[in-house]
Amino acid sequence: MLHDMFGVPFTEIAPIVERSPEAARQLASRARRRLRGTTTTPDADLGTQRRVVDAFLAAARAGDFEGLLRLLDPTVILRIDPGTRPWAGPTTLTGTADVANHAATHGRRFASLCSAALVNGAVGVLAASGEGVLAVAGITVRGARIVEIDLLLDPDRLARLRIAT
């Protein structure tokens, strides 16, 4: 909004959002697309998507912060939909450091329950236990890096999912 409405250059916006000017420009571009109702298009190659998601899960399981950083695009965004589940943290994280820290912190505990799965036609993550589906993550991979993660934790919505086997 600062750039589009008031003409503030990205070099001045970058320190405000704690990103590089290029990353601030990309965040603005993604925000415009979301406002228009369009989404980021993932790489078409499911094999590449699968390799990136598998590497992400392995790094999360190991708590490998540096490995996670290598897999994330500098402008990565993680959106969390807790629904009715109690959630104390932020529901949106942006940037490699915040997303990698979240994955490394929670990964050791939950990544063992996760496996790669097709989610809305792209490779994502399904977390399940004997109690059923705990979470689903839609992951957008572009240029062999993760650019978006949409994590669904809402128990009401998860209960309505149909899982193909």
List, for the chain, all residue ranges whose pLDDT scores fall below the cut of 50: 38
What does the pLDDT read at residue 88?
Answer: 78
What does the pLDDT read at residue 131?
Answer: 80
What's 18's DSSP letter?
Answer: T
Nearest to 118 by CA among 65, 70, 162, 67: 162
What does the pLDDT read at residue 147?
Answer: 94
What does the pLDDT read at residue 59?
Answer: 94
Give the model confidence (pLDDT) of 85-125 as tens digits: 787 778 889 999 999 999 998 877 888 899 999 988 889 99
Say how many residues make up the chain.
165
